[in-house]
Amino acid sequence: MANPMSTLGIIHTVISVVPVIAGLYSFSKYGAILPKTDVGRLYLITIILSAVTSFGLSSTGGFNPGHAIGILTLLAIVFSMAIGKLGWFGRLNRYLQALSMSFTFFLLMVPAINETLSRLPPANPIGNGPDSPPVQATTAVWVVIFLVGICYQAWSMHRHPTGGAQPA
């Protein structure tokens, strides 16, 4: 049987479902996560809350890969917002903003894959942690989906230089 979740774990999980849904909606509607849209703002707020609440979770009692993912997520958000405001990269800004926001979604899903497969179904979970073959295989598939997705996203933005994804 899967390990029981702490109160903070339950709160973190509930919060973390929102950016998954908001991100998927934003990708389907805009081809990117756009912080200037309502759904983009919802995504940003909830992914930040998800990252912050992850810092209070640790099955090992110390710093773990989940904490590193939370830090990377926050750094990717700061990067995306900063280049949107400062315009450091000229014509590449649009691409870098969209791809860095997509990277936050990728990072959100990595622990989601592990936790989901390690807890469901409750009586006999599919995986038993990040080192289990089902979790590793699913994560590998997720990496491929992410790489194909960002390539498609960049290509689509290149084909439609004035439309499509217009991040922060």
Separation between Cα atoms, residue 33 and residue 76, nearest integer Å: 13
For residue 139, being part of any structural domain is answered with: yes
| Residue of higher predicted confidence among 48 and 87 | 48
Residue-level pLDDT at 142? 97
Residue 98 within any structural domain of the chain: yes
Domain-located, residue 138: yes
Q: Is residue 128 part of a domain?
A: yes
* Tokens 């995504």, residue located: 43
Q: How many domains does the chain have?
A: 1
Q: Using pLDDT thresholds of 50, 70 and 90, give the confidence band for residue 91.
A: confident
Show the DSSP H helices in the chain as ranges: 7-30, 38-54, 65-86, 93-119, 133-159
Q: Is residue 82 in some structural domain?
A: yes
Closest among 3, 2, 25, 27 to 152, alpha carbons compared: 27
Is residue 1 included in any domain, yes or no?
Answer: no
pLDDT exceeds cutoff 50 at 168: no
Return the pLDDT at 165: 55
Return the pLDDT at 122: 87
Decide if 165 is inside a domain: no
For residue 2, tell me if it sits in a domain: no
Mean pLDDT, range 149-157, rounded to an integer: 93
Q: Are 51 and 36 in contact (CB under 8 A)?
A: no
The chain-wide mean pLDDT, for the chain, equals 89
Other residues' Cβ atoms within 10 Å of the Cβ of residue 23: 25
Q: Which domain holds residue 109?
A: 7-159
